C-alpha cells in the first residue's frame, strides 16, 4: 500500500488551466529532433566532401581510393535518410507522450520506456516542457542517473548485435504515424479530445 502511495505522490498532474502557449508544429518538430536535424546537415556536408574525394580518385584512376571513397559516400548519403526517418519516429513518440502526459500526468512508469536514448529523452522532455512539467522530468532523469552528456543509447552497450534486431529498426526508423488525441494549439477549444 505504501508503494502505491509513493508512486501516486510522484505522479505530477497537468494543470489544465495553466498550460503554456503551445509552439507551432514546425517548432515542436525542430525541438524534438534538434540533434538529428544537425546530423542531417553534417551528413549532407560529409557526403559532398566524400563525393569530391571520390571524383578526384576516379579521375586519377586509383582503384583502391575509388572503392574507399565510394564506400564513404554511400555510408554518409545513406545516413541522411536514416536520420530523417529517426527524426520522424521521435516526432511520433513526442505526440504520443504529450497525449499521455496530458491525460495521466507525469509518472516514472510513463517516462521509463523513453530513457534509452538521448533522442527519445529529448522527445519526452519537449512534450513535458510544452505541458509545464519540465522540472519533474529533469528531476526524474537526475534521480535515475541520466545526465546531459549521455548520448550513446543504453541498448547499444547492452546488446552489441542491436543492428540485427527487428525491434531496433522498427522503434528507431519505422515508428507508425500517431494521430494526436488533443489539439493543444487551439487554445479556444479547451483541449477536447480530437475526433
So what's the pLDDT on residue 12? 65
Query: Is the pLDDT reported for residue 183 higher than 80?
Result: yes
Highest mean pLDDT among 12-21, 77-86, 141-150, 182-191: 77-86
Cβ burial 34-59 (10 Å sphere, 16+ → b, else e): eebbebbeebeebbeebbebbeebee
pTM of the prediction?
A: 0.81
Nearest to 113 by CA among 60, 61, 67, 155: 155
pLDDT tens-digit profile of 18-53?
788 899 999 999 999 999 999 999 999 999 999 999
**Helix or strand run (H / E) with residue 31:** helix 25-32
pLDDT tens-digit profile of 121-165?
999 999 999 999 999 999 999 999 988 887 777 777 777 777 777
So what's the pLDDT on residue 57? 95
Nearest to 136 by CA among 48, 9, 39, 25: 9
pLDDT band, very low/low/confident/very high, at 167 (cuts 50, 70, 90)? confident
Q: What rounded mean pLDDT belongs to the chain?
A: 85
As a whole-number percent, the residues of the chain with pLDDT over 90 amount to 64
Amino acid at each position: 500500500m505504501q508503494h502505491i502511495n509513493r508512486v501516486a505522490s510522484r505522479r505530477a498532474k497537468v494543470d489544465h488551466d495553466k498550460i503554456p502557449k503551445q509552439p507551432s508544429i514546425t517548432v515542436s518538430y525542430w525541438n524534438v529532433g534538434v540533434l538529428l536535424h544537425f546530423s542531417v546537415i553534417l551528413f549532407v556536408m560529409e557526403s559532398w566532401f566524400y563525393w569530391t574525394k571520390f571524383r578526384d580518385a576516379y579521375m586519377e584512376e586509383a582503384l583502391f581510393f575509388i572503392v574507399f571513397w565510394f564506400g564513404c559516400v554511400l555510408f554518409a548519403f545513406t545516413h541522411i535518410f536514416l536520420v530523417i526517418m529517426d527524426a520522424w519516429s521521435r516526432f511520433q513518440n513526442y505526440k504520443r507522450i504529450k497525449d499521455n502526459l496530458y491525460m495521466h500526468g507525469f509518472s516514472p512508469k510513463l517516462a521509463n520506456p523513453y530513457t534509452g536514448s538521448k533522442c527519445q529523452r529529448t522527445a519526452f522532455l519537449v512534450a513535458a516542457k510544452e505541458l509545464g512539467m519540465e522540472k519533474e522530468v529533469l528531476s526524474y532523469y537526475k534521480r535515475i542517473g541520466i545526465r546531459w552528456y549521455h548520448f550513446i543509447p543504453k541498448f547499444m552497450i547492452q546488446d552489441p548485435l542491436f543492428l540485427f534486431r527487428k525491434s531496433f529498426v522498427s522503434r528507431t526508423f519505422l515508428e507508425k504515424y500517431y494521430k494526436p488525441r488533443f489539439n493543444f494549439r487551439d487554445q479556444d477549444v479547451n483541449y477536447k479530445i480530437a475526433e
